[in-house]
Amino acid sequence: MEDKQKETAEFEQTENAETYVEADQTAGSEPSDNEGETAETTEEQQRISELETNLADTENRLLRVQADFENFKRRTREDNAAQLKYKSQSLLTQLLPALDNFERALDVKVEDAQAASVLQGVEMVYRQLLEAMKSEGLEVIDSEGSAFDPNLHQAVMQVQDEKYESNVVVETLQKGYRLKDRVIRPAMVKVNQ
């Protein structure tokens, strides 16, 4: 709410700056017209005309710098917000292959008790890792059973399966991930024709 008011204020200031420029250009050219007409220009009048032009120029420059400054501040605020929002992207992207391998390692079938106990221990670690990544905004992209979406899915295989509707994702070959609203890795999928 407050931000919106600021934005409006900035916009008005820029508008004013432009209006000012035009007005001052007219003002600046006036003295020379008078000069021709009256031919009575004293030293003082010349000084006044000089000062008026100079003042108008300086005021214009001030308004321009102020407008530039406000624009720069607004852009900086926007850039910072984006940088903050996606700050974990680089580390998350690097962790994804390890996460894939973790899932593969947990997928083995074991028979003996000791192996099962080891698996159980590292499965807890896997869940803890995933939770930490999710708390920074990581989300798994839904794929199996969803309609194929080229923004979220990368089709690496096509099948013909009457059990599914056309253009539906039949199987996920590699999970896809989003960081908040940004896809950082599309899901690799098998799609029904």
* Residue numbers at the binding site for a second copy (CB under 8 A): 42, 44-45, 47-48, 51-52, 54-55, 58-59, 61-62, 65-66, 68-69, 72-73, 76, 79-80, 83-84, 87-88, 90-92, 94-95, 97-98, 101-102, 105, 108, 110-112, 114-115, 117-119, 121-122, 124-125, 128-129, 132-133, 135-136
If the CB atoms of residues 148 and 177 are measured against a second copy, the closer one turns out to be 177
In the bound complex, what is the minimum distance in angstroms from residue 120's beta carbon to a second copy? 9
CA distance 98 to 76: 35
Q: What is the chain's percent helix, strand, coil content, to nearest 5?
A: 65, 15, 20
If the CB atoms of residues 112 and 162 are measured against a second copy, the closer one turns out to be 112
For residue 71, which amino acid is it?
Answer: N
Chain position carrying tokens 């910072």: 80
Chain position carrying tokens 């807890």: 124
In the bound complex, what is the minimum distance in angstroms from residue 48's beta carbon to a second copy? 5
If the CB atoms of residues 1 and 82 are measured against a second copy, the closer one turns out to be 82
CA distance 64 to 54: 15
In the bound complex, what is the minimum distance in angstroms from residue 106's beta carbon to a second copy? 8
Strands 187-192, 153-159: pairing kind: parallel
In the bound complex, what is the minimum distance in angstroms from residue 23's beta carbon to a second copy? 15
For residue 160, which amino acid is it?
Answer: Q
> Using an 8 Å Cβ cutoff, are 10 and 70 in contact?
yes
Beta-strand ranges (E) seen in the chain are: 138-140, 153-159, 169-174, 177-179, 182-185, 187-192
If the CB atoms of residues 130 and 188 are measured against a second copy, the closer one turns out to be 130
In the bound complex, what is the minimum distance in angstroms from residue 4's beta carbon to a second copy? 22
If the CB atoms of residues 129 and 183 are measured against a second copy, the closer one turns out to be 129
If the CB atoms of residues 55 and 159 are measured against a second copy, the closer one turns out to be 55
In the bound complex, what is the minimum distance in angstroms from residue 178's beta carbon to a second copy? 15
Looking at the DSSP bridge assignments, the partners of residue 108 are none
